[in-house]
Chains A and B, each alone.
Chain A
Amino acid sequence: MEASLFRRPVANLLSGRAQCLLALNAASSRHESSYRRSKSRLNVKPEPSFLPSYSKTPVQQDHIIFNPPSSAPSVLHTPLKFLPKEDKRKQLLVATAQKFSSSQMRLPPPIRAKPKVPHHHLSDADIAEIVKLKQQDPDQWTNTKLARKFNCSSLFVSICLTQCGVDNAERKKEMQEKFEAVKARWGPRRRKAKEEQDRRFKLAYRGD
């Protein structure tokens, strides 16, 4: 038994496979080498307070243990901010929240989404400039480029252009055709992945 255990890595080394070099390194093996061993190793005794009252060594306690499995919070639990002023729960919860607020000052890191742009900083002249640039060279000045130049959102650019009567139906059609051409080149795996992504997002908008 012992001999065979020792001999195996050497034999593997001789066979020239690269992965056994890693296997020699004790720190790199995260698991037991067999299912049975890893299972028996993971079979940890539970916390004595979690043992049921009918077990052989019950722990005497006079409090309720609330340890639900991790799951998404229910939408039926209204956050404190969303409670109307006249609701009786508001006063109770505000008192509790104040008690714990000092320790809860550190917030988790934000998602690095699109950089926030200032609002209401463009004048009428700027908007006229946006429209002029777009009409001069619509292929060169896309909405994204205009947004970057004027430091505003591309949604704002599109609102400006539609309100000033710039007709972008042709460009939209062109872009759609381009996208269709790209889609036609997709293979079965990418197409399937995209379809699944679409379906997932649809579910996300419903919150299912």
Chain B
Amino acid sequence: MIHHSSETYYRLGKNLPSSGNFVRTSLSALSFHIIAVSPTITIPNTAVFAFQFDGCEYQPPAGDQTCLGYLACGQLLSPRTRPCCLWQQTIQSPAGGTQQSRFQSSSAAMEENLVFEDDDPSASSTSRHPSSPYASPLTEAALHSAKLAALHARLALPKKLPLQTMARTLVDPSADPNLRFNNASLAQLGGSIISFHVAEFLLCKYPRLPMAILFAASGAYNGPRTLAIIAQEWGVETAAYPGSEVDPGLLQFSKLKPGTNLGEIGMARKNTIDQGVWRRGMSSRVVLDDEFGDMIPQRRGIEVDAKPTETAYSNFVKAVVSSIYVHAGRDAAKKFVKEHILSRHLEITQLFDFKTPVQELAVLCKREEFEYPVARILSETGRLSRSPVFVVGIYSGHEKLGEGAAPSLAEARIRASVAALKAWYLYSPGNNVRVPSDMEGANPKPWEPVHIDIGEIIH
């Protein structure tokens, strides 16, 4: 399962042939999520121009109507309904320090502003542009945003879910740290709902999946990368810079500051090893790591998020699910998860990578009290030629367990064993298998217990 290079990691961002809007698939997410190594990230080439500092932090993106008239925006903001957030600048300060060092030589005029920001974070409200006094758009602005209404309609969300909540789901904690205005709490709840439905679906549909494959499959269904792809398929765009003058229909979060030291971001696993927390095996992933078997960063507050766009997008999807749950109820949330996340196609047969399939199959047959598996030649052609083909079947007694074709007998035997093991692990009670949450509907049929396997093969 460990086939990883920086190349595959970067390829994810592109639209692979199978990850388009029309064929919904999580394949591209897979190639990343089955891997538990820390990604290697190089520092991007960034340039910061002088105008980006002088009160012009917000560069309106294409199609953003807010840039057409700041006056209209000012009228919206005039009734002061919420306190101005003063803490945001503390998050930005480490990046500010590097900016300062970068610009000392190039622009002497810039120096004043940056030093001023660093020295006195409480004065950050004055450093904002006059048209953007708050960290995120006001609640009233949600009712006037065409983008937000279009998104609400496009997702066919229930009428009970108001546009104001919808606007709140688009504000990431990195844009507005105030818990009353960002989507942190909603994302926490939504993430739990999504992973509950994905987990019960996977466990009921494939009761024999090994733990590593279960981690990979759940990561492919509701990992951050997949959720980001889903949000992009919904047509959600990002704001260039968060602020109260931004259209509430745009996703608002703080992007990586220019000059951020990315060298330390990918070193989470190395750091833990240095600290003496040596991690090995699947059990430690089950106990200590997150729902996808990935390592939880140790110091959450201090560490810089290496992929702010992906995190913001995935938090947005989670927040949408929980806002449906909160406003329209459990059934609506389940339906939404089923339609948008569980409906995606996952090629689960391609997740496996065995080390010793022949031995593993022998152990399985011994455990289950089947006859010893024997490899038999079903057919062959060109044994003495340059490119022979052998078709080998693995038989236990009189029954064929698996079949494989290859140019050598050894390889064909491995392929046949792999096929047999996959057939064992991918046993499914059926396509329309019932999950426990089906019992929560009105007048459900009596529950039949699902198949529970005794566990994966250990040898």
Contacts and interface: CB of A to CB of B under 8 A. Distances in A.
Interface of A: 72-73, 75-84, 86-87, 97, 101, 104-105, 107-111, 113, 200-201, 204-208
A82 B401 contact: yes
Given A84-B427, A87-B429, A72 B404 contact: yes
A206 B370 contact: no
A18 to B, nearest CB: 22
B427 A204 contact: no
Interface in B400-437: 400-407, 409, 411, 413-415, 418-420, 422-424, 426-429
A76 B426 contact: yes
B234 interface: no
B396 A111 contact: no
Nearest to A71: B405
Contact of B398 (A77, A107, A207): A107
Given A72-B404, A84-B451, A201 B399 contact: no
A99 to B, nearest CB: 14
A82 B419 CA distance: 13
A82 B451 contact: no
9 contacts: A76-B349, A81-B396, A107-B395, A110-B376, A201-B414, A204-B404, A204-B411, A205-B414, A206-B354
Given A108-B393, A110-B374, A78 B414 contact: no
A208 B407 CA distance: 14
B349 A207 contact: yes
A125 to B, nearest CB: 27
B427 A83 contact: yes
A82 B423 contact: yes
Ranked nearest first, the 7 interchain pairs of A and B with the lowest CB-CB distance are A75-B422, A207-B418, A108-B376, A111-B375, A204-B414, A206-B353, A78-B427
Given A81-B370, A204-B406, A205-B418, A111 B376 contact: yes
B403 A206 contact: no
Interface in B366-407: 370, 374-378, 392-393, 395-396, 398-407
A72 B405 contact: yes
Contacts of A206: 350, 352-354, 418
B377 A111 contact: yes
Contacts, number: 99
Nearest to A86: B451
Interface residues of B, number: 43
Contacts of B280: none
A73 B414 CA distance: 15
Contacts of B354: 205-207
A105 B397 CA distance: 10
A110 B398 CA distance: 12
A108 B426 contact: no
A109 B376 contact: yes
Contacts of A82: 401, 423-424, 427
Nearest to A200: B411
B398 A105 contact: yes
Nearest to B418: A207
Contacts of A208: 350
Contacts of B401: 79, 81-82
B355 interface: yes
Interface in B332-359: 349-350, 352-355, 357
A195 B84 CA distance: 63
B321 to A, nearest CB: 30
A89 B172 CA distance: 50
A25 B240 CA distance: 81
A81 B414 CA distance: 20
A91 to B, nearest CB: 14
Contacts of A83: 427
Contacts of A201: 411, 414
Contacts of A76: 349, 423, 426, 428
A41 B422 CA distance: 43
Interface centre among A77, A101, A111 (most CB of B within 10 A): A111
Given A79-B399, A81-B401, A111 B413 contact: yes
Contacts of B451: 84, 86-87
Given A109-B377, A207-B352, A207-B354, 18 more contacts: A72-B405, A72-B419, A73-B419, A75-B419, A75-B422, A75-B426, A77-B423, A78-B428, A101-B398, A110-B375, A111-B376, A113-B375, A205-B354, A205-B414, A206-B353, A207-B349, A207-B419, A208-B350
A87 B208 CA distance: 14
B224 to A, nearest CB: 25
B377 A108 contact: yes
A63 to B, nearest CB: 27
B337 to A, nearest CB: 24
A204 B376 contact: no
Nearest to B372: A116
A80 B400 CA distance: 9
Contacts of B370: 81
Nearest to A116: B372
